[in-house]
Amino acid sequence: MSEKVKARIQGDDYTIVGDTDPEYIHRLAELVDRKIRELQLGMPSASKLKLAVLAALNFADELEQSKSDSPVMGASSPEAEEKTRKLITLIEEGLIGDL
């Protein structure tokens, strides 16, 4: 059953709908908020959209790095891939739903 979870990122409220544990969604939102704030320190005049895209690129880089660090080059577990797909869906729904 899908649940609605409210999360605040960069001072904006987002309603995220998903089948994932609400606490997990809150942890992800906190992680995204922290990353965006970190980027904002180095680029105080950047738009929220630019910061969000740069944060997404950072997370994508971390994902690719973790794939290359795994014992089988480029391999990842089905669980990690499923969580990644869910995260991407949540991000897309959150960004599209609140624009």
Residue 3 has pLDDT above 70, yes or no: yes
Residue with tokens 């499923």, as numbered in its chain: 82
Residue 36 has pLDDT above 90, yes or no: yes
The pLDDT assigned to 43 comes to 93
How many Å apart are CA 95 and CA 80, to the nearest integer?
22
- N-term to C-term CA, the chain: 25
pLDDT digits (tens, 9 = 90+) for 42-71: 999 999 999 999 999 999 999 888 887 765
Q: Which long-range contacts (CB under 8 A, 24 or more apart) does 75-79 make?
A: none
Q: Is the pTM of this model over 0.85?
A: no
User: What are the residue boundaries of the structural domains of the chain, listed by start?
Assistant: 3-71
Tokens of 7: 């999360």
